[in-house]
Amino acid sequence: MSGMESISTPKRTKEIIQRYGFSFKKSLGQNFLIDQNILDKIVEAAELDKAGGALEIGPGIGALTERLAMAAGAVTAVEIDRRLIPILRDVLSPYPHVKVRNDDVLNVDLKALFADDFASVDKVSVVANLPYYVTTPILMKLLEEKLPLDNIVVMIQKEVAERMAASPGGKEYGSLSIAVQYYSEPELVCIVPRTVFIPQPNVESAVIRLKVREHPPVEVADEKHFFEVVQASFTQRRKTIANNLKARYFAEEGRERLEALLAEAGIEPTRRGETLSLAEYAKLSDVLLAAGIV
Ligand code: SAM
C-alpha cells in the first residue's frame, strides 16, 4: 500500500469525503465501511488469489476495492454514482489492475464485461458491500445469468441473508431461499453491527457467501415453470400448498385433479409451501408440467 493508510480507516475516509466535498445519497444505499476486521473477513471469505479476478458492485470511495486490489489479479468495480468516479480514479491510482466503470450494474451486460475484463484470469468472485435497496435484483441477475463465477461474498441486510440461507420448515424459508439455493450453496459468514459503517444504516447486516454451483442440486424439466410453481406455492404463506395451487392453476380443473397430481408428486395437500424441499418442488413442477397444467 506504498506506506499509505488504508482508504477505509475512519480518519482517511473522513479526509477523502471532506477533500472532495462528497455528500452521501441515502437513495443509493451509500453506507461506507470503516472497519478493518470486517473488510478482512469479507476478502478472506472470497478466497482470492493473484490468478483470479474480483467484480465489485458499488465501490463507494474504494474501501473494499483497495483490499481486492491487493488480493486479486484483476479487479473491476461498477459504481452508479458519477460523483464517485473521479475520487475512485484518484485514490485507486496505485493499482493499475483495477478498472472502474460508471454504470448501474442492473443495466450492465455482464457476459460482455467478463469477456472484456476477466479474459486473463482463471476464476472470478463477486465481492461487495451491496446497496440494500437492490440486493435481490442484483444477486438474482448474477445467479440467473450463469456467469463463470466461483463465489459471491456480499454484505447484505441480516434478515435477507437469513432468508437466503434458510432450510425448509422455518418462517424464513421462502421463494428467495429456493432461488438462491438452486444456483448456489449459501453460508452465513458473520453478523455485522451498524457501527462499522458511515453513515450507520437502520438495519443490522450480515456477510453471506454463495458458493456458485456447477450444476443445480435438482433436475427440473423447465426452470421457468419450476420457479413459477415455487412462487405460486408461497402466494399466501399461511395457506396450504393445495389452496395456493388451486387459486393459481386449478380454478377450472377442480380440486380432485389437483389432489391426484399432488399425490403423484408425493405431497400431502395440507402441507404449507414453507415445508417443501427443493427436490419436492422439482418433482411437483415436473408433474404439473407433464399434466399440461403449467
Ligand atoms: N463498497 C463501499 C464500501 O463498502 O464502503 C460502498 C458500499 S455502499 C453500501 C453501496 C454502493 O453501491 C454505493 O457506492 C452506491 O453508490 C453504489 N450503488 C448503488 N446502486 C448501484 C447500482 N445499481 N449499480 C452500481 N452501484 C450502485
For 59-105, write each residue's pLDDT tens digit: 999 999 999 999 999 999 999 999 999 999 999 999 999 999 999 99
Chain centroid to CA 26: 20
Round to whole Å and give the CA distance between 192 and 170: 22
Query: What's the pTM?
Result: 0.96
Around ligand 1, the residues with Cβ closer than 6 Å are: 28-33, 57-60, 63-64, 78-81, 104-106, 129, 131, 134
Centre of ligand 1 from the C-alpha of residue 58, in Å:
3
- Ligand 1: residue of 79, 98, 154, 207 to mutate (most ligand atoms within 8 A of CB) is 79
Round to whole Å and give the CA distance between 158 and 205: 4
Which residues belong to the annotated binding site for S-adenosyl-L-methionine? 31, 33, 58, 79, 104, 129
Q: pLDDT confidence of 251, banded at 50, 70, 90?
A: confident
- Ligand 1: residue of 22, 55, 57, 66 to mutate (most ligand atoms within 8 A of CB) is 57
- Pairing, β 197-198 against β 32-33: antiparallel
**In this predicted structure, which of 1-15, 59-73, 80-94, 278-292 has the lowest mean pLDDT?**
1-15
Centre of ligand 1 from the C-alpha of residue 48, in Å:
21
166: DSSP letter:
P
Percent helix, strand and coil across the chain, each to the nearest 5: 45, 20, 35
- Ligand 1: residue of 27, 31, 100 to mutate (most ligand atoms within 8 A of CB) is 31
**8 Å CB contact between 281 and 217:** no
Centre of ligand 1 from the C-alpha of residue 32, in Å:
8
Q: pLDDT confidence of 3, banded at 50, 70, 90?
A: low
For 160-191, write each residue's pLDDT tens digit: 999 999 999 999 999 999 999 999 999 999 99
- 3-class SS of residue 118: coil
- 3-class SS of residue 96: coil
Round to whole Å and give the CA distance between 265 and 238: 21
**Among 125, 1, 149, which residue's Cα sits nearest to residue 67?**
1
Q: Which helix (H) or strand (E) holds 2?
A: none
**Cβ burial, residue 131 (10 Å; 0-12/13-18/19+):** buried
Which residues lie across from 53 on neighbouring strands? 74, 124
* Ligand 1 atom nearest 33 alpha carbon: 5
Q: What is the CA radius of gyration of the chain?
A: 22
Which residue is closest in CA terms to ligand 1's atom 11? 58
List the domains of the chain with CATH numbers. Answer: 10-212 (3.40.50.150), 223-290 (1.10.8.100)
**8 Å CB contact between 33 and 14:** no
